[in-house]
């Protein structure tokens, strides 16, 4: 069966359901002559009459009825599937697959997903959290959340956060025991919790800004982790100083369970972006998620930094 025969079968079903070419044409939003011609061409292809026409009415022939009895259930399933797809294009529903770094997943996406689900309960979300670089096309993700330099080419990118500022923090117990550094060179005498990069396994060198120029410090310590959540918990436990993104520890700094230092040396990164293939049309579900993220960003911009 080619696509013309499938389309003709759908027209035949519409004619049978409507009981006339005129009503079928209105339902299909087509000209009556076009509907009649489609049926005639299908009859010529099959070599049998499918519709018995009179001046006042029409009915299916035995061959036409047998054809619809056999093909009707499949046609109904096709029509139902097409209707669902059309509705999904306009009404937020279905499943979103998002990949994100651990930090924005926690502080940005989880609150946004909660609001998305409140507004649109029919949307389901698969959130893939990884600090590795992920190919969203190969991984069949609808979108990703990364910094700009971690995105593939030919992506539409939407800012979803303010610029991200880093900070060095330690627990009150650690500060009481070891004090806080005031100069970068003092870090070399501190126990600094390491972060092992997921991309190539090396320990992250702490990046600072001195007089407008980037400065890297290769710190050392008794503990190295490969996740930001573990990094924060280790700092809270007094295991050393941690280099983290400020939003990730904003609540702890406000509560006093972590104490920042070296703020005049801290750099800023461009904010996180939600991105998806440039040529891919956004689904209604992804469009709804983007709207929530944009609103959330506006609200976040109105909140002052803890520094």
Question: Do 228 and 252 have their domain in common?
Answer: yes
Q: How many separate helices (H) and strands (E) can be counted in the chain?
A: 10, 15
Model confidence pLDDT, tens digit, residues 95-128: 999 999 888 998 899 999 999 999 999 999 999 9
Question: Do 237 and 277 have their domain in common?
Answer: no
Q: What is the dihedral of CA 50, 55, 56, 62, to 10 degrees?
A: -20
> What's the total number of domains in the chain?
3
Q: What is the dihedral of CA 72, 75, 77, 81, to 10 degrees?
A: -160
Tell me whether residue 223 is in a domain: yes
Nearest-CA neighbor of 190 among 218, 234, 221?
Answer: 221
Q: pTM for this one?
A: 0.59
Question: Do 8 and 59 have their domain in common?
Answer: yes
Model confidence pLDDT, tens digit, residues 33-68: 888 898 898 889 889 998 887 767 788 898 889 988
The pLDDT assigned to 91 comes to: 67
Question: Do 84 and 150 have their domain in common?
Answer: no
Question: Do 192 and 45 have their domain in common?
Answer: no
Tell me whether residue 118 is in a domain: yes
Question: Do 178 and 245 have their domain in common?
Answer: yes
Say how far apart CA 268 and CA 196 lie, in whole Å: 20
CATH number at residue 265: 3.40.190.290
Quote the domain boundaries for residue 42: 3-90
The pLDDT assigned to 187 comes to: 96
Q: Which of 56, 90, 124 is a domain's end point?
A: 90
Tell me whether residue 56 is in a domain: yes
CATH number at residue 292: 3.40.190.10
Give DSSP secondary structure letters for 178-204: H---SSGGGGGGS-B-EEB-TTT-PBP
Asked if the model's pLDDT at residue 254 lies above 50, the reply is yes
Reported as type and span, the H/E element at residue 277 is: strand 273-277
CATH number at residue 85: 1.10.10.10
């Amino acid at each position: 069966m080619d696509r013309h025969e499938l389309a003709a079968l759908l027209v035949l079903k519409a004619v049978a359901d409507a009981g006339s070419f005129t009503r079928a044409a209105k339902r299909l939003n087509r000209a009556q002559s076009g509907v009649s011609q489609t049926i005639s061409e299908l009859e010529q292809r099959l070599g049998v009459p499918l519709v018995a026409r009179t001046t006042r009415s029409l009915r299916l022939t035995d061959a036409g009825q047998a054809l619809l009895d056999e093909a009707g259930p499949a046609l109904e399933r096709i029509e139902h599937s097409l209707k669902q797809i059309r509705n999904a294009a306009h009404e937020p529903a279905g499943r979103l697959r998002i990949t994100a770094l651990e930090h924005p997943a926690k502080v940005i996406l989880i609150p946004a997903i909660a609001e998305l689900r409140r507004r649109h309960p029919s949307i389901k979300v698969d959130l893939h959290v990884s600090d590795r670089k992920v190919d969203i096309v190969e991984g069949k993700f609808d979108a990703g959340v990364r910094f700009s330099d971690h995105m593939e080419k030919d992506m539409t990118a939407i800012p979803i956060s303010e610029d991200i500022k880093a900070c060095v923090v330690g627990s009150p117990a650690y500060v009481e025991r070891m004090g806080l550094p005031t100069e970068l060179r003092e870090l070399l005498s501190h126990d600094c919790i390491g972060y092992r990069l997921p991309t190539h396994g090396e320990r992250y060198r702490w990046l600072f800004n001195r007089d407008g120029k980037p400065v890297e410090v290769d710190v050392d310590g008794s503990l190295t982790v490969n996740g930001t959540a573990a990094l924060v918990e280790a700092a809270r436990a007094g295991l050393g100083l941690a280099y983290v993104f400020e939003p990730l520890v904003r609540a702890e700094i406000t509560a006093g369970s972590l104490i920042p230092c070296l703020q005049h040396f801290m750099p800023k990164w461009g904010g996180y972006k939600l991105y998806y293939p440039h040529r891919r049309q956004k689904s209604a579900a992804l469009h709804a998620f983007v709207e929530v993220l944009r609103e959330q960003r506006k609200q976040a911009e109105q909140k002052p930094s803890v520094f």
